[in-house]
Structure 1
Amino acid sequence: MLETINNQSQQITALINSHTALINSHAEQNKVLAQIIDQNNDLIAELIQDDEDNESSSSRYLDD
């Protein structure tokens, strides 16, 4: 009986450790994904600004 309880306890501990490692891995992945999203947002903002600058400069020439 005690041996069975001990085995189950070890299995539960191993499962908890496995889940903890998985959660930590996901947390690291989330950090990396957040950085990628921030970089993409910055690039999109730059592209939008470039497009707006190009539109205003081209319309300036069309007005002449």
Structure 2
Amino acid sequence: MKELNIISIQVNGATTLGENIADNGGLHAALEAYRKVIAKNGPEPRLPGMESYTPEQLFFIASAT
């Protein structure tokens, strides 16, 4: 297994508050749109090898990358 070197950087939350709120709002809007698509079109096929995750969990995993 490859070893990773992790660099820790502290960020002042007060200076990034506006961006954090905007990111949260965008993620919320995207999740609501995703839920509407699923409600209209039915569930998505499961991804091979990822069956232990729900579709919504995969949504959040994808949004974090």
TM-score relative to the length of structure 2? 0.43
User: Relative contact order (alpha carbons < 8 A, sep ≥ 6): 1 or 2 greater?
Assistant: 2
Q: Which has the higher helix share?
A: 1
User: Taking structure 1 as the reference length, what is the TM-score of the superposition?
Assistant: 0.44
